[in-house]
Amino acid sequence: MLGAREVVSDSSTAEILLAAADCFMERGYTATSVDDVARRLGATKGRIYHHFPSKADLFAGVFEYGMDLICVVIEPYRNMPGPAAERWTQLALAHTKHMMRAKTLARVVWEGVEMHLRGARTPEQRLVLDGLVKYRNSYSNIFRETIVQAREEGDFHFEDPAITVQSMFMALNAPIFWYVPRPGEDEENIESIARQVVTFVYRGLTGKGELDL
């Protein structure tokens, strides 16, 4: 199952991870103090440091938890039979809806990737981040292989796969930055937004029109 690592052993650890995810999303990694996370838990940082050796490890835990979850979500569609273009549509819909349902975790994963792209930091943190981003890359490779196959089958059209995967993910992930859950009318709302976003990207992948300048 793509190496889900079952980070969350007990419910106490899970509670810490979710509180940390909330804080990291609201203020970002650097601006979030361990005291902030403890305060959200109604506890003190002693509790957190008992479960995680450092703030960086806490962040890594949230990242991994987030990746584990989304891997479970797209698993049913990974090896779906039929045209790759149709498989892509199912994967993209599941991915985009999950971005909104688990917006908090998705934002943390995003910041982890961003931190990695920035480079810098200490060698130790670098090693941890490298592992996390490798996990995230194995996920994005599922989509990459699917769109390349759909191109071979004549349904998708694009030049560079790397550029296309990046453009695709940015558009599919967009809702994590502006979507605000509204109590009550959530599920239909999520369905409608996901359909529009995936349609937009689907057209970008299937279209053949060239720019007229």
Instruction: Report whether 5 contacts 72 (CB < 8 A).
Output: no
Task: Indicate the residue among 42 and 154 with the shorter CB distance to DNA.
Answer: 42
213 binds, among DNA, a copy of itself, none (CB under 5 to 8 A by kind): a copy of itself
Long-range Cβ contact pairs of 119-125 (< 8 A, separation 24 or more) = 125/56
CB of 132 to DNA, least distance (A): 17
Residue with tokens 């996901």: 194
Kindly state whether residue 13 participates in binding a copy of itself, applying the rule CB under 8 A.
Answer: no
Region near a copy of itself per CB under 8 A, out of 7-15, 45-53, 68-76, 172-180: 172-180
166 binds, among a copy of itself, DNA, none (CB under 5 to 8 A by kind): a copy of itself
Kindly state whether residue 196 participates in binding a copy of itself, applying the rule CB under 8 A.
Answer: yes
Kindly state whether residue 200 participates in binding a copy of itself, applying the rule CB under 8 A.
Answer: yes
Euclidean distance between CA atoms 198 and 118, whole angstroms? 29
Task: Indicate the residue among 43 and 80 with the shorter CB distance to DNA.
Answer: 43
Query: In degrees to the nearest 10, what's the CA dihedral of 35, 39, 42, 44?
Result: 20
118 binds, among DNA, a copy of itself, none (CB under 5 to 8 A by kind): a copy of itself
CB of 69 to a copy of itself, least distance (A): 22
189 binds, among DNA, a copy of itself, none (CB under 5 to 8 A by kind): none
Instruction: Report whether 179 contacts 193 (CB < 8 A).
Output: yes
Q: Looking at 59, 63, 65, 158, which residue binds a copy of itself (CB under 8 A)?
A: 158
Alpha carbon separation from 177 to 88, 115, 141 (Å, rounded): 23, 17, 23
Long-range Cβ contact pairs of 155-163 (< 8 A, separation 24 or more) = 155/83, 155/84, 155/85, 155/206, 156/84, 156/85, 156/88, 156/205, 156/206, 157/205, 157/206, 157/207, 157/208, 158/205
CB of 90 to a copy of itself, least distance (A): 8
Task: Indicate the residue among 16 and 70 with the shorter CB distance to DNA.
Answer: 16
State which H helix or E strand residue 97 sits in.
Answer: helix 84-101
What are the residues binding DNA (CB under 7 A)? Answer: 12, 32-36, 38, 42-47, 49-51, 53-56
Considering only CA atoms, give the Rg of the chain: 19
- Name the site residues for a copy of itself (rule: CB under 8 A): 25-28, 30-31, 86, 89-90, 93, 114, 117-120, 158-160, 163-164, 166-168, 170-171, 173-175, 177-178, 193, 195-213
